[in-house]
């Protein structure tokens, strides 16, 4: 990819007309990307900026930190906290389970049809979110779900009597993992494919054990893409609302549901507090991405 763009630039450099002509062509060149930038500014950047600025204004339009301070009231902090916990748990479980499955199908010596079948299924399941997914888990682990009923009648184990509840932190996490694992598989399989067989052979020639090969070759190489995907999964879960809303109604107070209720009916009785909640969501997903970039540059430098 880099090769191509470099050669393009080289060609462009050679073919570039002398001074005057270039000065005339410069603005027309930007015309080609104008529709994209107009679209992005109008429907992606400005709406987001509007909310971010609104988070620092009061009803009269004056600058204030009051909305940000109000974010730290007990029920909003609780909502953020449970959202972060669910996103973190589901992204970590999804990432490690997805990595295990990816390694199993690429490196585990399983028949080839399993690999291609798993990849197709992952493509489907990573896009199978929202209301249908919530219902699938109600039919499985709800009070009358298949697994709940089977466990109760066959083994006599009532999971609800032992503290399990689908409409809780763990219930939501288990449901989110359903689209987190496949997303991890889809993204990490190409990275595992990229591990060259020669590296393993070279390590073995130098007398490395299997454990050393994994610790000193495989993990450092996979680390950046693994970490990047974890953060993508985190953002994916943090912004998700349809699944949680269909599953729990408003009984589990996570941030997107709180914001949804606020947009619908101003439940917080302060429009600008809604902006502040949106601002807080962007800060959290944004921070996650900054961490990702920071980690990646560090590990890339170290890879050289």
We find the least distance from the C-beta atom of residue 33 to another protein, in angstroms, to be 6
- Read off φ and ψ for residue 57, nearest 5 degrees: -125, 155
We find the least distance from the C-beta atom of residue 101 to another protein, in angstroms, to be 5
**Residue 129 corresponds to which tokens in the numbers above?**
């979110």
We find the least distance from the C-beta atom of residue 182 to another protein, in angstroms, to be 8
Q: What is the 3-state secondary structure (H, E, C) of the chain?
A: CHHHHHHHHHHHHHHCCCHHHHHHHHHHHHHCCHHHHHHHHHHHHHHHHHHHHHCCECCCCCECCHHHHHCCCHHHHHHHHHHHHHHHHHHHHHHHHHHHHHHHHHHCCCCHHHHHHHHHHHHHHHCCCCHHHHHHHHHHHCCCCHHHHHHHHHHCCCCCCCCCCCCCHHHHHHHHHHHHHHHHHHHHHHHHHCCCHHHHHHHHHCCCCHHHHHHHHHHHHHHHHHHHHHHHHHHHHHHCCHHHHHHHCCCCCCHHHHHHHHHHHCCCCCHHHHHHHHHHHHHHHHHHHHHHHHHHHHHHHHHC
Residue 85 or 115: the one with the smaller Cβ distance to another protein is 115
We find the least distance from the C-beta atom of residue 288 to another protein, in angstroms, to be 8
We find the least distance from the C-beta atom of residue 303 to another protein, in angstroms, to be 20
Residue 45 or 69: the one with the smaller Cβ distance to another protein is 45
Residue 46 or 219: the one with the smaller Cβ distance to another protein is 46
We find the least distance from the C-beta atom of residue 232 to another protein, in angstroms, to be 7
Residue 221 or 235: the one with the smaller Cβ distance to another protein is 235
Rounded Cα distance between 78 and 98, Å, is 29
Annotate 262-289 with b (16+ C-beta within 10 A) or e (fewer): beeeeebebebbbbbbbbbbeebbeebe
We find the least distance from the C-beta atom of residue 176 to another protein, in angstroms, to be 13
Residue 50 or 294: the one with the smaller Cβ distance to another protein is 50
Residue 100 or 159: the one with the smaller Cβ distance to another protein is 100
Residue 105 or 268: the one with the smaller Cβ distance to another protein is 105
Residue 175 or 223: the one with the smaller Cβ distance to another protein is 175
We find the least distance from the C-beta atom of residue 164 to another protein, in angstroms, to be 15
């Amino acid at each position: 990819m880099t090769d191509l763009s470099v050669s393009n630039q080289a060609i462009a450099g050679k073919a570039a007309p002398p001074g005057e002509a270039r000065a005339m062509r410069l603005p027309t060149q930007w015309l080609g990307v104008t529709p994209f930038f107009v679209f992005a500014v109008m429907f992606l950047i400005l709406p987001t900026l509007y909310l971010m600025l609104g988070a620092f204004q009061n009803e009269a339009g004056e600058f204030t930190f009051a909305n940000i301070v109000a974010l730290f009231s007990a029920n909003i902090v609780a909502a953020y906290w449970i959202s972060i916990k669910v996103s973190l748990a589901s992204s970590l479980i999804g990432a490690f389970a997805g990595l295990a499955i990816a390694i199993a199908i690429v490196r585990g010596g399983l028949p080839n049809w399993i690999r291609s079948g798993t990849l197709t299924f992952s493509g489907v399941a990573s896009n199978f979110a929202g209301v249908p997914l919530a219902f699938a888990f109600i039919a499985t682990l709800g009070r009358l779900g298949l697994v709940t009923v089977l466990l109760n009648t066959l083994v006599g184990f009532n999971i609800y009597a032992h503290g399990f509840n689908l409409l809780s932190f763990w219930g939501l996490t288990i449901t989110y993992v359903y689209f987190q694992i496949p997303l991890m598989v889809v993204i990490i399989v190409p990275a595992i494919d990229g591990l060259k067989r020669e590296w393993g052979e070279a390590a073995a020639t130098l007398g490395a054990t299997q454990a050393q090969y994994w610790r000193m070759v495989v993990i450092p190489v996979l680390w950046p893409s693994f970490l990047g995907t974890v953060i993508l999964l985190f953002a994916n879960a943090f912004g998700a609302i349809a699944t949680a809303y269909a599953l729990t109604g408003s009984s589990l107070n996570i941030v997107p549901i709180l914001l949804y209720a606020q947009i619908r009916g101003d439940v917080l009785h302060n429009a600008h507090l809604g902006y502040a909640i949106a601002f807080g969501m962007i800060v959290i997903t944004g921070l996650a991405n900054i961490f990702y970039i920071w980690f990646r540059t560090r590990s890339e430098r170290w890879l050289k």
